[in-house]
Amino acid sequence: MVKTTPQLKKITVKPTKPRLLRVGAYARVSTEHDRQLSSIAAQVSHYSRLIQSTPGWEYAGVFIDEGITGTTTKKREGFNDLMNAARSGQIDVILTKSISRFARNTLDLLQGVRELKSLGVAVKFERENIDTSTADGELLLTLLGSFAQEESRSISQNVKWGIRKKYADGQLHSRQPYGYRYSEGELHIIDHEATVVKRIFNEFLAGISPEKTAARLNSEGIKPRYTNKFQGKRLRTILENEVYIGNASLQKTYRPQIANHCTKPNQGELPRFIVENSHEPIIDHQTFNAVQIELAKRRKHGRAASPGISTNAFTSHIVCSVCGKKYHRRTKKRGNRSRKIWWCETATKGKGNPCRAPQLPETILKTICLDLLGLTDWDDTQILTKLDKITVFPNRYLTFTLTNQNEPVIVDLAQWRKPSDCHRNNQA
């Protein structure tokens, strides 16, 4: 057997190219003032150049928050986008200016850093010269994060003191209600917004609900200042705001805790101030007072005080004699046919029918009302001026309380006739 001689061959291995480090950055300013917006633009420019010019680094984006506080992360969209990018493995290193830019709440700071560390993502804080990938990084973060939180608390206290001092001196704060802009301590009218404000007041007095006015404004392409569309709830706050008659109510709301951004109405916890004729009005006093009276009326009588698409004269005016709840309007369908009925709220909420409340067909109710009131055609507004309340009894008797009569009129729904005087006395 011939023995073969081993042959040695040299294998040339190409060196593997090191993977680029994916580096992102985070920047934030707490207000939308021009000076701070200029600052954040400079930060974005700085980080973009730094990352793209550093060998071995791959640009993973600069995430920003404008006009957002650092005491909480819930509403910081840029920060949350950054965290989601890290969770999906798109970032290896995050650069940020300082701890206070990243978070002023120690708990949020440590939770964020620890989650990033578990994902293999390091955070580098330039001002404090801290790198969370090092052993002593988290200890320093805990200490400095506490200092940042205390600094935020101190700044917040000073700002609140300044605002309350201005209120006590009768000076306006820099809030800008719709229709006005704040400049040099004064409110100035914005003409095109003032036109919308006047329309909101006038349509409300014409019987149009804020929700319907909001829908009209949206359909016409008219937009509010900060959001995409008007909402009825927002229009109601405009209707109640005395700022539109030239008065300023100061310290109507407050924040009970320094790091808590939940605003609560001031119900005597702090002094309140009213400054009359503090600026040019958009609405005259007569119109404003008429709106407040109408608002009070509608609160008392419910949505039916202003009949609309989903309401009519019966809304909030039919009451169950057993539980005292209002009757609600419902649609009953059978095949291709449907009809409107009214039923006690207790039954419509899925709680059974413990009141034994009868269902009331709307067509019959309308016919009875027209007969009692001596009318030929149905008109919600006209009915509202004459009908005060309908009380429904389990035995299918109804009492109609009319505005021009002292005694209620009793109607037997089953027979649709007025009961005898004897039965009326027994029912009472």
Q: For residue 63, what are the domain limits? A: 21-151
Do 292 and 184 belong together in one domain?
yes
Whether 5 is in a domain gets the answer no
pLDDT at 170: 46
User: What total of structural domains would you count in the chain?
Assistant: 3
Whether 256 is in a domain gets the answer yes
Distance between CA atoms of residues 225 and 220, nearest Å = 15
Whether 172 is in a domain gets the answer no
| Domain CATH number, residue 233 | 3.90.1750.20
Whether 339 is in a domain gets the answer yes
Domain C-terminal end among 266, 301, 336: 301
Give residues with Cβ within 8 angstroms of 276, minimum separation 6: 246, 247
Which residues of the chain fall below pLDDT 50?
33-34, 70, 161, 167, 169-170, 258-260, 303-310, 417-428
Whether 167 is in a domain gets the answer no
Whether 310 is in a domain gets the answer no
pLDDT at 319: 93
